[in-house]
Each structure stands twice: as C-alpha cells, then as structure tokens.
Structure 1
Amino acid sequence: MELENLKDASDKASFAQAVKKGLGKHQGLYFPTNIQPIDNIDALLEMPLVARSQLIIKHLIGDELASELVDSMIAQAFNFDAPLVKVTDNIYCLELFHGPTLAFKDFGGRFMAQCLSHISKGEKVTILTATSGDTGAAVAHAFHGIENIDVVILFPKGKISPLQEKLFTTLGDNIHTLAVNGDFDACQQLVKTAFDDAQVRDGMHLNSANSINISRLLAQVCYYFEAVAQLPEDDRQKAVFAVPSGNFGNLTAGIIAKILGLPIKRFIAATNLNDTVPRYLVTGEWAPKATIATMSNAMDVSQPNNWPRIEALIEKGLFDKTLLSGEAIDEDYTQVAMRKLQTLGYVSEPHAAISYRALTKSLQANEVGIFLGTAHPAKFRETVENVLGQPIQLPKALVDVAGKASLAGEIDADYASLKSYLFETLGD
C-alpha cells in the first residue's frame, strides 16, 4: 500500500511506515495514492463481520502484511457486534457502541493497537493524542498494559462528560492523561506542534492515535459494510448515511467504503453548532470560527483534521461532491431529536440525535436512512436524563469506573508546558 503526504507528495510511506509515524512532514496526513474497487460486493455482504473485514483490510493494504497476521489482528480487534436497529419503517441506527469503551472508536483504536504492537517490534513508542471524548477511552483501553508503548492523552478540561473522562483517566500504568485549559482544537494543535518538533518526535518515537492515523481510518471502513449487509437486499441501493461529524474521520471512512463499491446513495455530514463544513459546502469558503462548547462535545471541532482527505478524494475524481450535503443542528433541535426518538421507543444521546435530525430533514420517500450511533447514551448520562426525564442505567463498563479517582494532570494550552511534561514523565 503506497501512501503520500497530502501536504508534500514527495513524502511517501508504506502502510507500516504511516502507522508508525502518524503524521508526515509539515503535519501532513498520509493517504492512499489510489483506491481500487472490490469485485463482487454482493458476495462480500453475505459474509460475517470479521471474515468480511479481513478481506476489506487486505484489499486496502495489499500484501504488505502476511494474510494470517491481518486475519488475526482483525479477529482480536473486532470481537463485538455492530447491530443495525430499526427505528421507523425506513430509518435505522447503526449502533457502534458495543465495544469495551462503548463508542465507535473501539473499532479503530483496537485495530491500531494490534497494528502498532506488531509493527514496532518491541521498540519504544509514545502515543500522543487529543480527544474530544471517545478517542481517549478507546485508545487508552486498546493500549493499556502493552509493553514499551506509553500513551499521553490530552483532553479539554471540563468539556467532556464526567463518565467519558473516567474511562481513560483512571487506568494509570502506561496511560498518562492531561486536562488542558482550552478547547479540543487547542489540544489538537499541541499534538501537531509536538510532531513538528524533531527533538520530541524523534526522541520520544512519537505516534498519534487520532483518526489522522491511517490504521484507525481503514478500520472504520468496515462497519459501513456491516450496516448495508444488515439491510434488506431491496433497500441496499437506497441507503443514505447521516454521519455525526467532528474531526471527520468517520465520514472519510464512509466515502472510502463507497469508492470500494459499497452501494451508498449519498452522505449527510451532520454537525452541531461547529458548522465549518456545512457552511463550506454551501459557500465554498473555508472559514472556521471559534469552537463552541455544546452538549454533543465529541463534535466540538471547528477545524476538522480529516477534511483534507475528503478534499483529496474529490479532487482525484474518486468521489462526487454532489453526493455530500451538510446539516448543522443547534442545541434546541438536538433536544427535540432526542425526545422524538424517545417517542419512537429509542433512547439516544446527543451525537446520534444530531445525525437523526439531519437525516429526517432531507430523507426522500424512495430512500432508506441510516444514522450512526457513536456512543452509548449512558456515557452522557446527565444530559440524557435531563433532556428525556428518565433514568439511564449504567452498563458495567461505566459502573466499574464511576467511583474511581481521576489520575489526570493539568496543563495550560501551552506547548512549552507539554514538552516539559513529556520529558519529565517519559524521558530516559
């Protein structure tokens, strides 16, 4: 698999190199130079999740890794279900929160852990990543206890739900967490700056587990196939996906799935008030604003890192931009959507509710809609209970951490502070 840096086409990398490096020169994203469709999609859709995903990943990365190794990595990473739940006659929710940290990022985080632990061959690696909520838990649990790999997670102080925070700040051992006095974009910028600092990047053998890492992105492609596979055959050509979007890795993965040949009619990029992409799709002007804190905090991103990958697919003629629309949903309509789903017998948290609201605004009579459920409602217990007026039972994964003390440190959104922390905590 050949990948190129979207900011410097001369910076090429294999899949293994891109997984180890995370980011390329000038903070550029690695991305495949070409994506070839898969033959016989219908037969693929009749296969179970793991067997199908093994074929998809091997098709994408080629023969760079042994077939048996990829099969083993996928089997260990994807050991939970992704059910498609019917909400109305023509609307479904793809529930991606049945993994160990109750969020869609378990798919990418667990596959990346499998990849990196093999590719690094026991060499020291420091994973530095920013989270707006779910990435932190998925990455922390995927890498917890892996020898010679340290994980440093930055998160915006006071801007993620308490239970989300407990899932990754209570582990300790090789998992280090820092509450940053700033928003998610500030956390993300600290990560980017560290990758531009040769002393830190090379000295710490730095890697990132955000969706900028190609292994995480490719893993996410697989659950779009799982969604369509669960649809009635007559509905597969009518599928419209509404994707709750923050950093836009999720949507990028869906577009890759379509390029591979999955019969997706179109996509809706659903955001909260941080509406950079919906505005861009209408005006053609890229004009990020200051990040706004919302109840759908995992989507509080005004400068999404993965958007250049979508632009690259459009520019290369691999994806038709007219098949993508954007919808920004405000706080009031997020709550309206949560209550509407409640009347339909479905309990949802804010992120999925936003994608449901965006879907219902544009779904046509001849279409079948799928909105992505990216996190278990209990991860946002306070918000959900306040909006719906009913108690939410905590699953075991949250019960186990709810009473634990956070081990997180705290820094200002200042690179010098981060650099000092890294060398003092992890330096030899």
Structure 2
Amino acid sequence: MKLYNLKNHSEEVSFSEAVKLGLGTNQGLFFPTELPEISKKQLDQILKMDFISRSSKILGLFIGNEISKKDLYKTVQKSFDFPGPIIHKVEKNISCLEVFHGPTLAFKDFGARFMAQILSYFNKNNDEYVTILTATSGDTGAAVAHAFYKMHNIRVVILYPKGKISEFQKKMFCTLGKNITTIAIDGSFDDCQSLVKQAFQDEQLRKKTGLNSANSINISRLLAQICYYFEAYSMLPENNRNKLIISIPCGNFGNLTAGLLAKSLGLPIQSFIAATNSNDTVPRFLKTGIWKPNKTVSTISNAMDISQPNNWPRVEELFKRKKWNLKDLGYGSLSDTLTKETLLNLHKINYISEPHAAIAYRLLKKQLKKDEYGLFLGTAHPSKFKTTIEKILNTTIPIPQELLNQINLPSLSYNMVPNFLQLKDFLLKK
C-alpha cells in the first residue's frame, strides 16, 4: 500500500515506511493513495467470518502484499488476544458498543497492540533502536505502554498533562518502568501534542533516537480501529443494521476517522455523530465553517480535552476523496453539567457509564430518529473514572483486576515544563 503526505502529496511511502516514520515532512499525516471498496457479496462473506479472520481480511485490503496473508493473520491474532467488542443494550433502539475489555480497559488496546506487533514484525530482521514518543490525554498512555512493555530495542516515552488525567489512568502506565518512561508536562494535552510534533521536525533527534509515534497519527493504529466497526455490525440483528447511526466520543478524532474508513470500504453505516465536550472546535467548525480552536479547558471527560485534533485533516481528506458532504456528519458538544446529568439518567435505566460515552449517548438520543438504530461507543471502563463517577452516582464502582495490579505501585514519572529544548536534551541523554 502506498500512502501520501497530506501536506505534501508528492511524498509517497509504503505502509512499512509510514508505520516507522509516524509523520511525514512538515508534520503531515499519511493517508492511503487508494481507498479499497468491497462489494455487497464480499461484505456478506466477510461478516460471516470470526473476528480475527475478518480483521485480517480488512487490514489486508489496505496493507496489500507488504505482509503475507499468513503473517498478517498471526500478527492480528497476537494483537487482538483479548475479549473483543460487546454490544450492551441500553434502550429499545440504542446500544453501547463497548470496546474497553482489553488489558488496559480502553479501546486504544486495539490500535496500540496492533502497532506494537506490526513494528516488531518490520524490525525482526534488523537491530534498529526505536524510540516511541507519544502524547496522551488519558488512555493512549496505558495502551501504548502495555503494548510495547519489555519489547526488545524499543523505548517508549509518554507525555501527559500533569494533574489532568484520572489517578487510575495514570497508575496504568506510570508504574511500569523498564523500557517505559513517562513525563508529566505542566500544561494541556495540546502542549504535549505540540512537543511530539516539534520532536518529529528535528532531524538530529529523529536520527539519533529512531523516533516514532504511537498516537493515532500512526496509520497502523488507525487502521486497526476499523476492525471493531465491522465486528459491531456483524453482531447486530438484521433489522437493526438498517439506518444505523454511530455516535463517537471524539478527542483526537482517530475513532471517527476509522469509522468513516469502515463506511468508505462498504460497511453500510448511515451516518456518524462527532460528540465532544466543551472543547468543541469541530462542532463549531461544522456549524459555522470557521476553524477557531479555543484554549483547551479541563473537563470530567479528560480524554477529549483536545482543541486541535490531529486526525481532522484525514476526515476532511476522506470526505473530499469520496465526494461526501461534511454537512451530513452529525455533531454536538456537552458541558460537564449535562454530562453529569446524563450519567445519572443512564444509571436510572441500569447502565453505569463513564463521562466520554455519556456524551456520545446523550447526543445520539437527541438526534436519533424513530426509524433509526443507534450505537454509541463506550471507549473506557467506568472504573478508570471511579472517583468522579462514584461522587456523581453515589454508588460504588468495583475495581477490575487489571487496575488492582497497578493501583498501589509508585509513580515513576519525571516532571517537565512544555519546553522542546528541555525535552530534546532529555531524549538524547536518557
């Protein structure tokens, strides 16, 4: 598969190069030169497959012959060696697509583990040293850390906004040590993301450290997420597949991009809703046509506290390439007050959610028509926001074993101001 740089279309790379580079020149995202499509007959065949076989088939459509079918199947099998998506009925015509049953209790396990296995596959015949530098607004950190933990010749450095992710999220990745280094940045997620982008523009740093990124800017992570949309569709009864609307809690917009790529392939999803919190750059843009990011504010849905989402250029490119109309994309934003109210409403109908999914649910419920069926994505286990949810719902959230294993371990993080030269010096010396 060939991919081109969205900021320089003449820069084309292979899939393996895109995975290793992460970003193109001028911080450009890589995007497929060809957008594969499947027929109705092929779709019917794919939907009958098991999750691993289906995922291998879908990923193979994008990757092409760079990896043999046999090796790709093994790679997917290793990547998705945990419970897959679950559809939990919430109301008559609304269900939650829970994609948080992996080892770090978040949807990002799918993308992070696939990227780790793919990078390991491409590096198996050489002894290159790789530094994975990534920013997290909550769940990416844990997923990436656990996916790459103890991997040979791979160092992971994770930046996160100090004091702006939940204690349970932090415990999942700041307690590992070994080849995992974590740095608390005194600023917002956008500050962390900016530091990562600056690092990729520094030629000396890239060459000396073998720099790569595991954010959803990396094409391997993004492609892996397409797979659970097909799985969700396959699990739905036939009568619920017609006029399917999917509402997605959006931070960096990787999940929405993956869903749109699934639709582009031929999965008959009627439409999507881009759901955000008060950091509502995209909803305001879709309403006014003016791109005007505000200063990022902290919310109880912290993984969505992003004002300049990385993947939005990919969304625009896909709409342009497919000749779709952005006006057909649903959108909306929710304040913390309404998010709390929604968590209470969900609890009253016997479903315990967390803030991100609650936002997607409320906007879906508001926009869904009577003859439509809606899915909203549950992207993280409620226990990762235990303190917040227990206070709102006045109930106890049990802690899963995955969190219990980490909860009493000491944090091993460094602290740093958002200064690129300081980060560069750290990366070169450590």
TM-score, normalising length: structure 2: 0.98
Q: Answer yes or no: is 1:241 the counterpart of 2:243.
A: no
Aligned residue number for residue 167 of structure 2? 162
Structure 2 CA distance for aligned equivalents of residues 385 and 219 of structure 1: 33
**Alpha-carbon displacement from aligned partner over 1:365-411 (angstroms, at most 9, x marks no partner):** 01000000000000000011011110000000101111110000000
User: Residue 114 of structure 2 aligns to a residue in which SS?
Assistant: helix
User: Residue 3 of structure 1 aligns to a residue in which SS?
Assistant: strand
Structure 2 CA distance for aligned equivalents of residues 94 and 320 of structure 1: 26
Q: Of 332, 356, 364, which aligns to 1:359?
A: 364
- The amino acid that maps onto 1:243 is I
CA-CA distance at 1:420 after TM superposition: 1.2
User: Residue 65 of structure 2 aligns to a residue in which SS?
Assistant: coil
CA-CA distance at 1:319 after TM superposition: 3.5
CA-CA distance at 1:278 after TM superposition: 0.3
CA-CA distance at 1:46 after TM superposition: 2.0
CA-CA distance at 1:325 after TM superposition: 1.6
Answer yes or no: is the 8 Å Cα contact 1:337–1:354 preserved in 2: yes
Aligned residue number for residue 72 of structure 2? 70
Structure 2 CA distance for aligned equivalents of residues 43 and 324 of structure 1: 29
Unaligned 5+ runs, structure 2: none
Aligned residue number for residue 47 of structure 2? 45
Structure 2 CA distance for aligned equivalents of residues 310 and 343 of structure 1: 36
User: Residue 106 of structure 2 aligns to a residue in which SS?
Assistant: coil
CA-CA distance at 1:144 after TM superposition: 0.3
Q: Of 322, 325, 330, which aligns to 1:325?
A: 330
Structure 2 CA distance for aligned equivalents of residues 330 and 55 of structure 1: 40
Q: Answer yes or no: is 1:108 the counterpart of 2:111.
A: yes
**% identical equivalent positions:** 54
Structure 1 CA distance for aligned equivalents of residues 241 and 45 of structure 2: 13
Aligned residue number for residue 60 of structure 2? 58
Aligned residue number for residue 28 of structure 2? 28
- The amino acid that maps onto 1:31 is F
CA-CA distance at 1:267 after TM superposition: 0.5
Answer yes or no: is the 8 Å Cα contact 2:208–2:428 preserved in 1: no
Deviating beyond 3 angstroms after TM superposition, the runs of 4 or more aligned structure 1 residues are none
CA-CA distance at 1:149 after TM superposition: 0.3
CA RMSD of aligned residues (A): 0.8
CA-CA distance at 1:318 after TM superposition: 4.8
**Alpha-carbon displacement from aligned partner over 1:192-216 (angstroms, at most 9, x marks no partner):** 0000000101111100000000000
- The alignment of Structure 1 onto Structure 2 pairs a total of residues equal to 425
Aligned residue number for residue 118 of structure 1? 121
Structure 1 CA distance for aligned equivalents of residues 123 and 297 of structure 2: 38
Aligned residue number for residue 252 of structure 1? 257
CA-CA distance at 1:67 after TM superposition: 1.0
- The amino acid that maps onto 1:90 is N
Structure 2 CA distance for aligned equivalents of residues 386 and 229 of structure 1: 37
Aligned residue number for residue 85 of structure 2? 82
Answer yes or no: is the 8 Å Cα contact 1:94–1:372 preserved in 2: yes
Structure 2 CA distance for aligned equivalents of residues 367 and 237 of structure 1: 7
Aligned residue number for residue 399 of structure 1? 404
CA-CA distance at 1:323 after TM superposition: 2.8
Q: Answer yes or no: is 1:423 the counterpart of 2:425.
A: no
Aligned residue number for residue 92 of structure 1? 95
Structure 2 CA distance for aligned equivalents of residues 145 and 186 of structure 1: 28
**Alpha-carbon displacement from aligned partner over 1:279-335 (angstroms, at most 9, x marks no partner):** 000100000000010000000000000000011011223543233121001111101
User: Residue 406 of structure 2 aligns to a residue in which SS?
Assistant: helix
TM-score, normalising length: structure 1: 0.98
Larger mean Cα displacement after TM superposition, 181-190 or 37-46: 37-46
- The amino acid that maps onto 1:108 is G
Answer yes or no: is the 8 Å Cα contact 2:192–2:418 preserved in 1: yes
Unaligned 5+ runs, structure 1: none
Answer yes or no: is the 8 Å Cα contact 1:265–1:323 preserved in 2: no
User: Residue 49 of structure 2 aligns to a residue in which SS?
Assistant: coil
Aligned residue number for residue 195 of structure 2? 190
